Amino acid sequence: MTKVHASSPRLARRHLALAVAAATGLGLASSAMAQDAISDGEVRIGYLADMSGTYRDLAGPGGLEALKMAVEDFGGEVAGAPIEVFSADDRNSADVGANTVRGWVDQQNVDLVAGMVASSVSIAVTKVLEEAGGLAIISGSAASSITNEHCTPNHIHYVYDTYPLANGTAKAVVEQGGDSWFMLTADYAFGHALESDVEKVVTDNGGTIIDRVRHPFPTSDFSSYILQAQGSGAKIVGLANAGSDTVNAIKTASQFGLTQSGQQLAGLLIFLNDVHAMGLETTQGLLLTTGWYWDMDDESREWAERYFERVGKMPTMVQAGIYSSTTQYLKALEDAGTDDPATVRAKLGEAPINDFFARNGQIREDGRMVHDMYLAEVKAPADSEGEWDLYEIQATIPAEEAYRPLSESSCKLVN
């Protein structure tokens, strides 16, 4: 458990306002009203993520640092109440995640659950919060079902999901002639959702899924799966997995000479940390879709450089999204003047989101935060000007085109 305190211009302005109010006889009343509006006199945020396993580098401790940055930049308090941060390792287990959050809600009165990567964990946690009347903002999970058939009024899905990943990467690959696919899929909710979304995009654009195989999560030996992919004769081997699974699959494909034999890998969920770990020699030319990149513009670079000073690595889109979503939550709570989950959730949906992370952002009634996405290509080693200079942004996918339209939604919250 970490209690975050910090000084900032925002905090100084708030203290000045309270001093002025006190001078006019309103200070004590205003302070008391603010405290009364915040349950237990504190705003409590629980950060839940894989802190030690497959997804450690994607969100993990770095995501916790991003959340702490957001709290510190906000001044360490909101609506007159201090902000307290909890964290826990869910070990990529739905049971561990659900039990942790149940304890947070019942014993710690946590106001917001943040982070979350494995989609199975997120789905289990949101069921707990729907029963308990809590609130979550999910930044790391990919399954589009989280705001489709698994939507609740108690959670928001913030950074990305499988729908724009398929829309961006798969569509671009098919348009370039990659019209026959073999799917290598992680055998859990996220992998199934990504495979389904890719299949729709491929077939809608005139391509075919020749065959598919599902692997356990996590997997270290991809030899038999890569051999099946080679034997399929498909032009494209689509990797519907993430983290170390994707890295291991790409390394195994390289060892087996898959790309040298005329087949191409399509990494459907590739993160900055994955490309960095494998190196440009292995990943150059790979097309991918991302929700954010640290070197996109001056605003992104400024925040990323502050993050780098703390962590020693450039942030992934998930870590950047954790900062952004935490800041948006605190703004909504401050505007609402209460930490009541339903009130804050409604407030979050009112205003557009445009910050260093999101362009044309909006939280819809299904809980999906839609925003512009980007088609990127991994640079060749000769084109890179530094250790983290890894992507070239090829195109912007507008928010309204990137995400599943509400007309196709099966979410119970959508009329």
Q: Give the chain's count of helices (H) and strands (E).
A: 16, 16
> What global pTM score does this model have?
0.85
CATH 3.40.50.2300 for the 163-290+373-402 domain, yes or no: yes
Please compute, for residue 145, the number of CA atoms within 13 A of its CA located in the half-sphere on the CB side: 20
pLDDT band at residue 168 under the 50/70/90 scheme: confident
Euclidean distance between CA atoms 250 and 364, whole angstroms: 36
Residue 36 has what pLDDT?
Answer: 54
DSSP β-ladder status, 373-378 and 391-397: antiparallel
Q: Find the DSSP H helices in 133-161.
A: none
- pLDDT above 90 covers a percentage of the chain that reads 76
Spelled out in words, what is the top-level CATH class assigned to the domain 2-160+296-370?
alpha beta
Least confident segment among 32-36, 158-162, 261-265, 346-350 = 32-36
Mean pLDDT of the chain: 90
Euclidean distance between CA atoms 292 and 219, whole angstroms: 28
Q: Which residues contact 334 (CB under 8 A, 6 or more apart)?
A: 78, 79
Mean pLDDT calculated for residue range 347-358: 97
Model pLDDT for residues 20-30, shown as the tens digit of each residue: 334 333 333 33
Angle between helices 317-336 and 341-348 (to 10 degrees): 110
The single residue listed with the structure tokens 């799917």 is 183
Q: Which residues contact 179 (CB under 8 A, 6 or more apart)?
A: 202, 205, 206, 207, 208, 235
User: What's the alpha-carbon Rg for the chain, to the nearest Å?
Assistant: 22
Q: What is the DSSP letter of 368?
A: B
Domains of the chain: which residue ranges? Answer: 2-160+296-370, 163-290+373-402
Residue 299 has what pLDDT?
Answer: 98
Model pLDDT for residues 268-292, shown as the tens digit of each residue: 888 999 999 999 998 888 888 999 9
In the three-class reduction of DSSP (H, G, I as helix; E, B as strand; rest coil), residue 329 is classed as helix
Fold match between domain 2-160+296-370 and domain 163-290+373-402: yes
Q: What is the DSSP letter of 245?
A: H
